[in-house]
Structure 1
């Protein structure tokens, strides 16, 4: 509980200030002084955390009273109360030793912000004066994710990076900040409702306190903390580079990891994000326009002195092997470090998380493995310790071991060949009539008979394997078209709300061989499509496959 002393002669002002302090948690008024001498004496005896001093208290200047309080109680935070709060007056009060200035009539936000900041400063000073100076200088890591241009997946990568780090390190505090002021989508990805944003924090960035930031940060049910972009784009003018520096500096002291979504649009805010981050990841896609935009952006940042091009890390997103622009070409077009992790073009994998507006809906292990690998390359996680090197060494030894008998057998066969050839040569030299014996040929004839028997025995198994492979291919074919038809039918049903139109769209999306047994069922917000499966042999195999999709209706 923070102790407060009020130095005012006006009882009305004292009553107003005390009513405001009573509404705040953690503050209690210990005494009220009517003169400077009484105020200094009470501060010496009661050792308060915060002292309010009115500018007209006593006949001596308020600056002298503030200096006396600072000399007697260096750990006490003094707040000057004045009729007007002007920049000149604030500077003069701070030079005298005050921690802030509040004006009357009092406003709750003004008073609460000043008194909370003053109480935190007083607590820190008490620890320093007691010899327990703060030794914990650990600051959280800051990673910025910016896009080469819009639509390359910047927000998705930033959100999943933050979420995956929290899932891997549940003891850490992770904050995701949406600095894409114009088109921020972090709130949409996590489906959170906001009352305040980064613009509201930026408005008070000149006198920022942890209390103001915590009021603006939203704690998602997953445990992730979110600081969102403003809903009104006009408030973006408050988010200046100076404000971002103050906000990020405070967040680094409060969180273990701060992920900044800088968006894909050039702005002073984005430049500040790139400058402040320890690691800056530039997301691009393997196409000419994105890579060109990435190059132009890096050149601009280097020219402005924000960050040199080799200081960036580049992620190639939406990699498609069928694309004419190879993903490996990005490495040759920039001096920045292109990470080895490449994210393939996989809209179906992220479809569930986008529809549910929750990254936890992505259940593909391969996707989270890619994100974890990306975190390792950004220095946010340690590379997993595996036995791959040990296995490779064991494999090498095994190959060497098995190679020795093979070489030995080869030598033995050569030796036997020479031993057989020598009697033949001797027989030719003595010119004895009659055919020479052929032991090797007899062995080959016996081996040929064994191979024939093995072939007859393996033939049924080979036919069965071929049938199983064919049935698997047919089932996979039906499964793929069932999913495609359900997606097409759900989109059509979302637009027309007509099950007949959805069925016609589904039939048009599959080959003619599957249309005969295709059926569509639509109810509520779900559309199910059933397609037949061609069977190679009867018993025990499914005759149809059903795929269900959720209908997303635009409000």
Structure 2
């Protein structure tokens, strides 16, 4: 049996050394090395999208891979591609690191400098495990094998541009079309998702800070099951606890959510920190909300440049959404696109706060009427982003939701 091996090595000298040794292994088919964590995950996602059989049996992760640290990368690969055997290549072969690697989902550890016998043994063991998992999956086991759910982050160029309303409506649109959906409030100091959805829930994202390994099962205990069908991971009620949430925790949470839900929508608020920067970096789609006025468009340009300087997101990989759009304003979407060098969404959200005021005051954003032009635009945006299964399913689900809302609305209202 031929074993396909994909090395993920950022260091050029180490890459040559590993590739040379892999080519000497019997029945081995080493692929060209990938130089960073993003390239590795993108390649695995593309292969998994074609077929489970297209994935390599073994992935080698070098200790100096980046930008995602090696152990966190191993954890994400293990969660998203459970049929791939991952091996850590490291100069630290201590029992502590070995234990941490195994906890992250690695199938083995190879010490540096490389030994042919040790490498051959670890690759053979990981490949055998991978083949066994695939044989099990081929028998129809109900195990997740795909590239993972779609992650969308929603950020604001400045305060008050509508990030929370947008995130909630995108999540509701995706859920109404039949997707499983999680909505995360990463506006850690001032998150309002709970208020907009009339939620009284004591647990929040900070309850996960003391847990070393965030598995989907552990994560479920911190999620609130909303009656709209959304799984909610809420911001802490005490804003000062925001500093307890770091980028490492967010990476674990996003990976676990992606493994459990088809769509993950994250409200990142407007203030940049390491936590929401990690989410934006991991997202399949990063939305940046702006309004058609000079001050906010300038703020949008500053945010885009900040993301680029910090290597969080390139301008061309960012989707700008124009909120509170009117036809008679001088600043139109085409101008925003030119100024920010981002891709502006085809659908702009109209300025019509009167439609929102009642549901915002009631704290029941899920009860926003279908005839609302704001809702129509945001659900249309969800379709543009590929978050709804199809138009028919969306219309049918929306009709059912609205009928249910009419009944519950007579008893008591709810939204943001």
Conserved? CA contact 1:202–1:244, under 8 Å: no
Shift of 1:207: 1.8
Q: Which residue of 1 aligns with 2:340?
A: 334
Which residue pairs with 1:144 in the alignment?
Answer: 153
More displaced stretch, 126-135 vs 335-344: 126-135
Cross-structure match for 1:91: 96
User: Tell me, what secondary structure is at the counterpart of 1:271?
Assistant: helix
Q: Deviations over 1:510-540 (max 9, x none)?
A: xxxxxxxxxxxxxxxxxxxxxxxxxxxxxxx
Question: After alignment, is 346-355 or 242-251 more displaced?
Answer: 346-355
Match of 1:202 in 2: 209
Q: Which runs of 5+ in 1 are unaligned?
A: 1-87, 101-124, 386-549, 551-555
SS at match of 1:221: coil
Q: Equivalent residue for 2:314?
A: 308
In the alignment, what sits opposite 1:160?
169
Separation in 1, partners of 2:152, 2:217: 23
Check whether the contact 2:158–2:296 (CA below 8 A) recurs between aligned residues: yes
Name the counterpart of 1:249.
Answer: 255
Q: Distance in 1 between matches of 2:99 and 2:257?
A: 25
Q: Secondary structure at the match of 1:318?
A: coil
Equivalent-residue separation in structure 1 for 2:101 and 2:311 (angstroms): 38
2:367 is the counterpart of 1:358: no
Whether the 8 Å CA contact 1:164–1:368 is kept in 2: the answer is no
Higher relative contact order structure (alpha carbons within 8 Å, sequence separation ≥ 6): 2
Tell me the CA shift for residue 270 of structure 1.
Answer: 2.1
Q: How much does 1:328 deviate?
A: 4.3
TM-score normalised to structure 2 length = 0.60
Quick check: which one's helix share is greater?
Answer: 1
Matched, 1:191 2:174: no
Task: For residue 340 of structure 2, give the secondary structure of its aligned residue in structure 1.
Answer: coil
Larger Rg: 1
Please name the residue that 1:132 is paired with: 136
- Structure 2 Cα separation of the partners of residues 245 and 216 of structure 1: 16
Task: Choose the corresponding residue for 1:261, options 257, 267, 278.
Answer: 267
Q: Say whether the 8 Å CA contact 1:142–1:259 is kept in structure 2.
A: yes
Q: Describe the superposition over 1:167-205 as per-residue Cα deviations: whole angstroms up to 9, x where unpaired.
A: 122xx210000011111010110011122111111331x
Q: Does the Cα contact within 8 Å between 1:349 and 1:364 map onto a contact in 2?
A: no
CA offset digits 1:129-151 (Å, max 9, x no partner): 79415672241110111111110
Q: Residue deviations 1:449-495, cap 9 Å, x none? A: xxxxxxxxxxxxxxxxxxxxxxxxxxxxxxxxxxxxxxxxxxxxxxx
Q: Summarize deviations over 1:343-396 as a string: whole Å, max 9, x none.
A: 1110111112112211232114233321232112212236759xxxxxxxxxxx
Tell whether the 8 Å contact from 1:149 to 1:290 is kept in structure 2 after alignment: yes
Which digits, 9 at most, give the CA deviation of each residue in 1:65-91, with x for residues without a partner?
A: xxxxxxxxxxxxxxxxxxxxxxx9971
* Separation in 2, partners of 1:127, 1:149: 50
Is the Cα contact below 8 Å between 2:216 and 2:259 reproduced in 1? Answer: no
- Equivalence for 1:484: none
1:317 is the counterpart of 2:323: yes
**Residues 159 and 92 (structure 1), Cα distance of their counterparts in 2 relative to 1, 3 Å cut:** closer
- The secondary structure found in structure 2 opposite 1:149 is coil
- Distance in 2, Cα, partners of 1:96 & 1:322: 58
- The separation in 2 between residues aligned to 1:93 and 1:211, in whole angstroms, is 24
Please report the TM-score for the alignment, with normalisation by the length of structure 1.
Answer: 0.45
**Residues in 2 aligned to 1:140 and 1:271: alpha-carbon distance in whole angstroms:** 19
Distance 1:310 1:268 in 2: 22
- 2:181 is matched with 174
2:103, 2:213 within 8 Å by CA — same for their partners in 1?
A: no
What is the correspondence of 1:410-421 to structure 2 with a 5 Å cutoff? none
Tell me the secondary structure at the aligned position of residue 375 of structure 1: helix
1:157/1:91 CA distance change after superposition, 3 Å: same
Question: 1:395-544 to 2 correspondence within 5 Å?
Answer: none
Q: Which residue does the alignment assign to 1:46?
A: none
C-alpha change, 1:180 and 1:95, in structure 2 (3 Å) is closer
**Matches of 1:315 and 1:97, distance apart in 2:** 42
Mapped partners of 2:166, 2:389: distance in 1: 19
Aligned length in residues:
273
Question: 1 CA distance for matches of 2:97 and 2:339?
Answer: 55
Match of 1:220 in 2: 226
Superposition map of 1:348-387 within 5 A: 348-365=354-371, 366-381=373-388, 384=391
